[in-house]
């Protein structure tokens, strides 16, 4: 199936500071390597998403298969979707399947620090294209 390319825009925002620990969990790293082909950088980039394109992308991702991440006990399932950022930087959009997860939040994993690679700071806008399958 050909992915649906969905351009969206968000604003870089602070997270809870748990991304480094999460992205380093052995069961997660193992699945990212096996299913997506890279070792994730120990941290996520948090985006506050907005706009009609994001609403449409969110609806599409909810009904899409994505790449399933099966959790260890005590964690939630997640679906992953490819993302292309500025300069062609590739990342993974992680959508946790948990009640109450903010509809305007998107977390990105990548093989490198997205924040450092793109020189991003809290409040900066970021355009990306999601590959929804």
Q: For 60-83, how does the pLDDT look when each residue is reduced to its tens digit (9 = 90+)? A: 999 999 999 988 888 888 999 999
- Residue whose token pair is 């990548």: 110
DSSP designation for 102: -
pLDDT at 77: 86
The model carries a pTM of 0.91
**Total residue count of the chain as it appears in this document:** 133
CATH number at residue 123: 2.40.30.30
Q: How many domains does the chain have?
A: 1
**How many of the other CB atoms lie within 10 Å of CB of 46?**
19
Structural domain including 14 reads: 4-132
CA-to-CA dists, residue 26 to 13, 82, 91, 98, angstroms? 26, 21, 19, 21
Which residue ranges of the chain lie beneath pLDDT 70? Answer: 1, 16-21
């Amino acid at each position: 199936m050909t992915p649906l390319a969905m351009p969206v825009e968000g604003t870089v925002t602070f997270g809870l500071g748990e991304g480094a620990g999460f992205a380093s969990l052995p069961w997660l790293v193992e699945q990212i390597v096996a299913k997506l082909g890279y070792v994730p950088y120990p941290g996520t980039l948090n985006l506050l998403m907005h706009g009609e394109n994001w609403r449409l992308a969110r609806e599409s991702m909810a009904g899409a298969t994505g790449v399933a991440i099966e959790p260890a006990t005590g964690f939630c399932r997640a679906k992953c979707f490819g993302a292309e950022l500025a300069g062609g930087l590739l990342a993974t959009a992680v959508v946790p399947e948990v009640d109450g997860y903010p509809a305007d939040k998107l977390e990105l994993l990548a093989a490198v620090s997205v924040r450092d690679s793109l020189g991003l700071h809290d409040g900066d806008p970021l355009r990306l294209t999601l590959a929804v399958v």
